[in-house]
Structure 1
């Protein structure tokens, strides 16, 4: 990871997080979906039994049979009415009827069929209640709802999960790519601009289009580069001023040296001639006085 650039790092981290989230969500769906499925079916069965007893309450026996038959067809459930100790069956789905010994409570762990066979209790939901008819007679009502076994629900879920996981991973790949490009684009632009700024190009500037941390960093870079250019311009101006001062100093020294050489040369000539007693320079007192005056002029010039 140390040798990777920002875009691959961001892409791998985001796709890793998405993949972990997808696996976790699918695992929860596979584990919890059958339980939610059974709970929902149990609530529906209880609501159906409540609705059925409400419709049957206070009705005649014939009316109860008719309403139970219609209710079983509409709700796709099996209904058993125990009238005068005899069970009457109304089927909404095929081949399952409830048969119990009279006078005994129903054991929901073992569900008997009309032909004497039993059915896996995990594949049905049994609810029972009672209602009074128009003559005040209490009639037992049993409602049997068909439910696919939990194992079948898990198998169905297991068959669907690979396709949903594949689709989710493809969407995560696409989103991670777009997200990584979106996140790293300002940083790539900033790197290109700062590379241009290293070459001290005057037009280099980062385009600030946001007010987030990236935008603040871009504005700081622009201000820093502007301050750098102001410092460079100040240094250039100061350098030009110093160069001009150097030129003026050189010109001054040349002029001063020229002005000093002339009286020095005249003074040297007078002194040498007096030393050699040449011509009029034998009058040393006169020319010594002139030499002193010449030295005074030199001192004044200095």
Structure 2
């Protein structure tokens, strides 16, 4: 069953139940309440009359009783008698020492002649009651004031109510039903709108939102759905970006393996040709001592390349959180690497200028050591004879400059970090290396989330700069 009809049936049931109970309470409680209010009114008025007559002269008492008698406010009949029970008022002459009071069917008061005793005749009702109060005149004589009153029966009104109750119930049922129907439609309209918007959200359209009206629970529900939809869309976008990133990495890996296979295949083919020539003593390959040395050099180059390939594979396997992060002195790491390169600078007649400040950073010490080693190796490999290499370190930056054999063009700089890329002038493996050094440097620095740059300076110098993250520099 739809929620609208559930709300309708529930609302009309509540209205019908409340109306029925209210009418039943009215039927049983109204007579009691009527008698209670009338009795309180009569007691209050009798008390006021008593206060007005007290300490007045007998003539004033009679005059006030006459006025009160014919007012007819609460239909109270007042009788004033002395302490012996003799009626003082109403008084009709000496010959009539006593009288009778007759209460008619409609509650009116009639004074009639009687014998020596007071007779009160009740007609049509047995609810006549009396109240008495002791008063005294201005001379201190005590009198007894009696008030006779009758409460009109309310049974006729109750009977009439009982007759019209069915009509009242039908009218309440119709009015309540119409009101409950429109209320149910209005209350479920917003729920339908939220449901429609939620179904449209399945299309992952960023523009679709639940309309928020008011400040009630449905408005809060619409707001929560909008927040949930926004969170899901953000998560989906992040997953799509992550999937695209993973796909890019997989493509890069596939390309890397393809290039690696090519780079390994060519030297192996050359090595196989040299060995075959030595086996069959063909031409120049008869000089085995020389070509064994050549084979060893080729194998050493391949071993270095394989080691670099393994390094790249390890970098892909571990994230920044999984690597060993520690606080260490970058100055000490550089000084340790410089022991070898200082000797190399003397051999190659290169001027090495070093300025190191103390710098403590948080990261992977071994990987940063590889970065320093590769950068220094590249600087020495591509610095011209009698050239200069500058190494500068402060708390935020590491700079390595060199007077290059040839300054790289913008196109070459855009490709220099690709695996196995070597500029045209360095295609010789003896001078150009394996082409993985700067690729490994980029992979490590990207994983450490440190920015870097490689650019031309003054038309003759190349400069590589690393900018350390201030949050991971320990001062």
Shorter-chain TM range is 0.5 to 0.7
Counterpart check, 1:85 vs 2:85: no
State the match for 1:24 in structure 2. Answer: 21
State the match for 2:462 in structure 1. Answer: none
2:283 to 255, 272, 280: 280
Structure 2 distance, partners of 1:173, 1:150, is 33
Instruction: Pick closer, same or farther for the CA change 1:90–1:20 going to 2, 3 Å.
Output: closer
More helix per residue: 1
Higher relative contact order (CA 8 A, sep 6+): 1
Structure 1 distance, partners of 2:256, 2:61, is 135
Unaligned 5+ segments in structure 2 are 79-88, 92-96, 307-475
State the match for 2:439 in structure 1. Answer: none
2:257 to 253, 258, 277: 253
Unaligned 5+ segments in structure 1 are 113-117
Q: CA deviation at 1:40?
A: 4.2
1:151 to 137, 152, 155: 155
Instruction: Pick closer, same or farther for the CA change 1:230–1:69 going to 2, 3 Å.
Output: closer
Counterpart check, 1:71 vs 2:77: no
Q: CA deviation digits over 1:166-224, x for unaligned, max 9?
A: 33333332343344445444444333333333332212323333444444443333223
Q: What's the TM-score, normalizing by structure 1?
A: 0.67
RMSD: 4.6
Instruction: Pick closer, same or farther for the CA change 1:264–1:105 going to 2, 3 Å.
Output: same
8 Å CA contact 2:77–2:148 kept in 1: the answer is: yes
SS at match of 1:22: helix
Q: CA deviation digits over 1:20-53, x for unaligned, max 9?
A: 2211111011112123334444455666777889
Q: CA deviation at 1:119?
A: 2.1
8 Å CA contact 1:89–1:97 kept in 2: the answer is: yes
More strand per residue: 2
Counterpart check, 1:33 vs 2:46: no
Q: CA deviation digits over 1:57-114, x for unaligned, max 9?
A: 9669997898578535xx59696974242458898959974767642464xxxx44xx
- Rg: which structure is higher? 2
State the match for 1:236 in structure 2. Answer: 240
**Matched positions, count:** 284
1:1-302 aligned at under 5 Å gives the runs 4-43=1-40, 67=67, 71=71, 82-83=90-91, 84-87=97-100, 97=110, 102-104=116-118, 106=120, 111-112=121-122, 118-121=123-126, 125=128, 147=152, 149-272=153-276, 277=280, 280=283, 283=286, 285=288, 288-289=291-292, 290-302=294-306
Q: What's the TM-score, normalizing by structure 2?
A: 0.47
SS at match of 1:119: coil
State the match for 1:115 in structure 2. Answer: none
